[in-house]
């Protein structure tokens, strides 16, 4: 019978039999299999969210630039915007053409941020205290 000698701390020696070593190896294999199964489950759920995006020329895409970038056909109003985008920033639009919002009535500042201006005050709130009222 072959026995292994283990030194857990300096000066201490323990003799382990082959059965204990075999049980430990089997437990390690079982733990690794469980971890692999958990990793595979997580990957299957993550892969459901990842869909390979492919665009065609009829999707208002001028050309494919590299593996993950596309050059778009933008409107004249957006001529100051860089027209090449990473695929993660793009979504397919399944809207009808008549439903597209015209950009004529919208106001943008120099950095192309939407500027919203109030048209009219619809309602007003009054805060009532014990002896006074404060219009908000």
Report pLDDT for 1. 45
Distance of CA 48 to the CA centre of its chain: 13
- Work out the average pLDDT over 52-66: 74
| pTM confidence score | 0.37
Flag whether pLDDT at 28 surpasses 90.
yes
State how far the Cα of 115 lies from the Cα of 105, in Å rounded to an integer. Answer: 11
Token match 């050059």: residue? 71
State how far the Cα of 91 lies from the Cα of 8, in Å rounded to an integer. Answer: 59
State how far the Cα of 134 lies from the Cα of 65, in Å rounded to an integer. Answer: 60
- Tell which wins on pLDDT, 90 or 55: 90
Flag whether pLDDT at 15 surpasses 70.
no
Tokens of 49: 């969210």
Per-chain mean pLDDT for the chain: 80
Give the pLDDT band of residue 18 (cuts 50, 70, 90): confident
3-class secondary-structure state, position 121: coil
């Amino acid at each position: 019978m072959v026995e292994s000698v283990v030194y857990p701390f300096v000066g201490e020696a323990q003799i382990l039999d082959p059965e204990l070593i075999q049980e430990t190896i089997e437990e390690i294999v079982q733990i690794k299999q469980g971890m692999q199964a958990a990793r595979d489950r997580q990957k299957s759920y993550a892969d459901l969210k990842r869909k390979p995006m492919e665009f065609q020329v009829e999707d208002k895409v001028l050309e494919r630039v590299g593996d993950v970038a596309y050059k778009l056909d933008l409107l004249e109003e957006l001529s100051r915007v860089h027209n090449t985008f990473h695929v993660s920033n793009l979504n397919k639009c399944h809207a009808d053409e008549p439903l597209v919002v015209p950009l004529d009535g919208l106001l943008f500042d120099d950095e192309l941020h939407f500027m919203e201006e109030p048209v009219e005050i619809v309602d007003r709130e009054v805060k009532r205290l014990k002896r006074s009222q404060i219009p908000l």
